[in-house]
Amino acid sequence: MNYTTQMDAAKKGIITHEMKVVSEKENIDVEIIRGLIAEGKIVIPANKNHKNISAEGVGQGLRTKINVNLGISKDCQNFDLELEKVRTAIEMKAEAIMDLSNYGKTEGLRKKIIDISPAMIGTVPIYDALGFYDKELKDITVDEFFDVVEKHGKDGVDFITIHAGINKETIETLKRNKRLTNIVSRGGSLLFAWMELNKKENPFYEYFDRLLDICAKYDMTISLGDACRPGSLNDATDASQIKELITLGELTKRAWEKNVQIIIEGPGHMPLNEIKANMLLQKKLCYGAPFYVLGPLVTDVAPGYDHITSAIGGAIAATYGADFLCYVTPAEHLRLPNLEDMKEGIVATRIAAHAADIAKGIPNAIDWDNEMSAARADLDWEGMIGLSIDPEKAKRYREESKPHDAETCTMCGKMCSMRTMKKILNGEDLNIIRD
C-alpha cells in the first residue's frame, strides 16, 4: 500500500520503518505507536528527503525529547562554529536541532546540517525569507512565503515552525488586552508586522490548506508556533495566549484531515503554579497533539542562569503533559549562545526531561538512576562517572580534588556514609582516624 505521511500510513494500518525504529527505541509495541500516530497523539518528524535520519517519536507515553536551537545572526556569522555545535549536540544525545539562522543566504548551512545530522531538523521558514529574497519584510509576497516553505521541504527539513494562529482576531484580542512584553516570538512579531504593514490576513492562516499540501508532499511536520506565548510572568495565561491556542486547536483538526502531523508550541514565561493548568488546557484544546514548550521560564530575573529557570519549568511541564522541551541556555536574553552555553543548556534540559520521565512513569526511565545509586553504594567511581549525564564534567570535578583515600571523595573522606555502610555490612574493620 502507498502512503503520503506517517499519519496516512498509520490510518491505513501500515507499519513504517520509522515506526519500527521508534518502537525499538521506546520499548513500546509498534501497534501502540501506530495507533497513537493515527490519532495525532504521537508524531514522527521525518522528511522523505532527510536520508540519514534516525527517527524519533514525540508524544503520548514516550520519553520527553529535547531540541537544541542554533544558527547564525547578522552579528555572529560563523558557519563552522554552528556546524561544531551541531556535532556536539548530536554527541550529547539531543533528539532535535533547529536551525534558526536569521541573516543572509543560509541554504548551504541548512543543507550541511541536514546532511550530517541523524537528529530531526527544524526551521522557521519566515526567518529565511528575508535573506533568501533580500527584501524588506513588507515587500515579501504571499507566494514568496510559501515558496520558502517548499524549499525547506525539498531540502529535507523534518519540522517547521509556522505561526498560523496569529490571525486578525488574535491581533484584536492582543490590542484590547495590553501586555507588559507584547509579542516576544520573533516569527510571530514578523508576521504581526507584515499583517499590519500590508493590512492583510496572516497568509499561513488564510491559505492554511496550501501549507498542508506542501507539508504532506514531504511528510514535513508542522510545529504550530505560539506567536502570543508569554514573554514575562505578567503575561502568562492571558487572553491573547488562550485565544491563539483555541485557533491552533482548530488548525490541528484541519491538518489531521489531510494527514499532516502536528506539534503545538507553548510558553514561554510562566509562574510555577500556572504550568500544570496550561498543560491540561493545551491537551484539551488541541485534542492531545504533542506539546512543545520553551521552558517555561519560571522567573524573569535570572539572565545568565535561564537554563536553570527553564529546567525547573520544563520538568514540571513535562510531568504534566509536555512532550518536547526546547532548551534554553545561560545566554538567553543576552547574546547568541557559544559552544559552552549550548552544552550547559543541553545538560539542564536533559535533566528536566529525565526527571519528568521518572515522574510520569515512562517505562525503564528510573533504571538509569538505580544503576547510578548502585555504583554509589559500591563506591564505584568509574561507574558513577560513566553513568553521569555529563561524564566529562563529572570526571573533571573528581580529578580536580583528589582524596587521600581513593575510594572516597574530598567532601567526607573516610566519614563517607557509603564507605561506612559498605564496610560494616560486609563485616570489615572501620578505620576512620587511622590509615
Q: What angle do CA 404, 407, 408 make, to 5 degrees?
A: 65
Q: How far is CA 325 from CA 20, 73, 88, 388, in A?
A: 24, 23, 18, 20
H-only helix segments in 40-124: 79-91, 107-116
What lies within 8 Å, CB to CB, of 104 at 6+ separation is: 72, 74, 77, 131
Q: Is 354 annotated as a binding residue?
A: no
What lies within 8 Å, CB to CB, of 170 at 6+ separation is: 227, 228, 240, 243, 244, 247
Q: Is 386 annotated as a binding residue?
A: no
Q: Is 10 annotated as a binding residue?
A: no
All cell numbers assigned to 232: 514575562
All cell numbers assigned to 224: 504550530
Q: Report whether 183 contacts 192 (CB < 8 A).
A: yes
Please state, in angstroms and rounded to a whole number, the distance separating the CA atoms of residues 266 and 162.
13
Q: What angle do CA 332, 225, 9 make, to 5 degrees?
A: 125
Q: Is 286 annotated as a binding residue?
A: no
Q: Is 412 annotated as a binding residue?
A: yes
Please state, in angstroms and rounded to a whole number, the distance separating the CA atoms of residues 203 and 205.
5
Picking from 290, 213, 223, 292, the residue whose alpha carbon sits closest to that of residue 259 is: 213
Please state, in angstroms and rounded to a whole number, the distance separating the CA atoms of residues 160 and 332.
22
Q: Is 3 annotated as a binding residue?
A: no
Please state, in angstroms and rounded to a whole number, the distance separating the CA atoms of residues 211 and 412.
61
Q: Is 210 annotated as a binding residue?
A: no
Which run of H or of E encompasses 316? Answer: helix 306-319
All cell numbers assigned to 57: 517519536
Please state, in angstroms and rounded to a whole number, the distance separating the CA atoms of residues 357 and 50.
28
Q: Is 1 annotated as a binding residue?
A: no
Picking from 201, 195, 205, the residue whose alpha carbon sits closest to that of residue 255 is: 205
Q: Is 226 annotated as a binding residue?
A: yes
What lies within 8 Å, CB to CB, of 400 at 6+ separation is: none
Concatenate the DSSP letters of all residues of 108-171 into one string: HHHHHHHHH-SSEEEE-HHHHHHHHHT--GGG--HHHHHHHHHHHHHHT-SEEEE-TT--HHHH
Backbone angles phi, psi at 136, to 5 degrees: -65, 150
Q: Is 98 annotated as a binding residue?
A: yes
Q: Is 292 annotated as a binding residue?
A: yes
Q: Is 17 annotated as a binding residue?
A: no
Q: Is 50 annotated as a binding residue?
A: no
Q: Is 152 annotated as a binding residue?
A: no
Q: Around 193, how many Cα atoms within 13 Å sit in the side-chain half-sphere?
A: 15
Q: Is 133 annotated as a binding residue?
A: no
Q: Is 229 annotated as a binding residue?
A: yes
Peptide bond into 59 cis (omega under 30): no
Binding site: what residues are annotated? 69, 98, 127, 163, 185-187, 226-229, 265, 269, 292, 333, 409, 412, 416
Q: Which residues belong to the annotated binding site for Zn(2+)? A: 269, 333
Question: Binding site for substrate, residues?
Answer: 69, 98, 127, 163, 185-187, 226-229, 265, 292
Residue numbers belonging to the annotated binding site for [4Fe-4S] cluster: 409, 412, 416
